[in-house]
A = this chain, B = another copy of it.
Amino acid sequence: MADSRFFTVAGPFTLARLAEISGAQLAPGADGAAEFRDVASLEDGGPGEISFLDNRKYAASFLVSKAGAAIVHPDMAGKAPAGMALLLTKDPYRAYAKVAQAFYPVPATEPFVAASAIVDPTATIGAGCRIEHGAVIGARAEIGQRCRIGTNAVIADGVVLGDDCIIGANSTVQFAIIGSRVNIYTGVRIGQDGFGFAMGAQGHLKVPQLGRVIIGDDVEVGANTTIDRGAGPDTVIGSGCMIDNLVQIGHNVQLGWGCVIVAQAGISGSTKLGDFVAAGGQVGIAGHLTIGPGARIAAQAGVAKNVGPGETVGGTPAVPQMEWLRQAAVLSKLVRRKG
């Protein structure tokens, strides 16, 4: 289904193999030997293709889908259209992710150093790296194995990358120590000065920013996102964090493990997020706060005080999500009374 102009499909795989890959169970009656050649959406899938149902909003498409197989929650097993083979799991999206990764594996890095790339002679480059046209790698930088440094990307002096990292085209990385399997998208800015200065009527006075950006393993940083280096302490992005496009992360911010930061959110200086915090799109978090592990912040919320572990907050200034929704309801009622 994917445009062969851009994508190359692997496979085919038998349904039994896909069950194994995904950790889902073959439903009773499903033919494990049947071959599937691709993934597809419920709407577009045909006989040799496997789809999935996760968001129940799309259940109607499931009922009439012509896909040869689908990964679904056991709850939905009874509603499958005739002839559709099922793989059953309580987390269909995760299982689909594994199946789709099997059909569309990330291509292995083909080692290459472009003639136009500039690699400082004091930099160390691991085996199997790919350094694209116009990329620059500075003095004493240390690049792990099988990294890809994108076209016209800049890795400044002293930067450290682990293995299997991707630095997108036109990105800039300075003052940073980065783990393995980190995927920096295109146009990302890492390690520039934090926004630190002493304000004054006689002129704002810049405060040297003496920290670094430390990024763990298995992190993604979305396109055109900016992560400032610390002012003294470091800015820290924990392993497994997923950061979307156009996000701003200020100096000294710490993100725990597995945080999810949606597009255009901004986290002000010195704020600490625990593990697995989720911040919605366009969220703003003030500086010097602590956001507890597992907290969830609704899109566009403006967080002005600490948030406890596991709390869900919304609104500006942010309050517990239920209270925010009640505020909206009360306001709406007041207006209708006066209207």
Contact = CB atoms under 8 A, between A and B. Distances in A.
Interface of A: 1-3, 5-7, 39-41, 55, 57, 91, 93-94, 96-98, 100-101, 103-104, 114, 116, 118, 132-134, 136, 140, 150-152, 154, 156-158, 160, 168-172, 174-175, 185-187, 189, 192-193, 195, 197-201, 203-208, 210-212, 218, 220, 222-224, 226, 228, 232-233, 240, 242, 244-246, 248, 250, 258, 260, 262-264, 266, 268, 276, 278, 281-282, 284, 286, 288, 299-300, 302, 315-317, 319, 323, 326-328, 330-332, 334-335, 338-339
A207 B97 contact: yes
8 contacts: A3-B212, A5-B140, A57-B288, A104-B208, A154-B169, A195-B245, A300-B316, A334-B334
A218 B242 contact: no
A154 B154 contact: no
Contact of A198 (B91, B206, B232, B330): B91
A57 B40 CA distance: 54
- How many copies of the chain does the oligomer comprise? 3
B94 A205 contact: yes
Given A195-B262, A195-B263, A245-B248, A284 B302 contact: no
Contacts of A152: 134, 136, 152, 154, 170
A141 to B, nearest CB: 10
Contacts of A302: 282, 299-300
Contacts of A55: 288
A1 B189 contact: no
Contacts of A300: 284, 302, 316
Nearest to A285: B281
A3 B300 CA distance: 36
A175 to B, nearest CB: 5
Contacts of A134: 116, 133-134, 136, 152
A170 B103 CA distance: 32
B100 A207 contact: yes
Contact of A327 (B100, B132, B335): B335
Given A195-B262, A263-B266, 13 more contacts: A2-B210, A97-B206, A186-B192, A203-B258, A204-B240, A206-B220, A223-B226, A246-B248, A248-B264, A264-B284, A266-B281, A326-B335, A334-B334
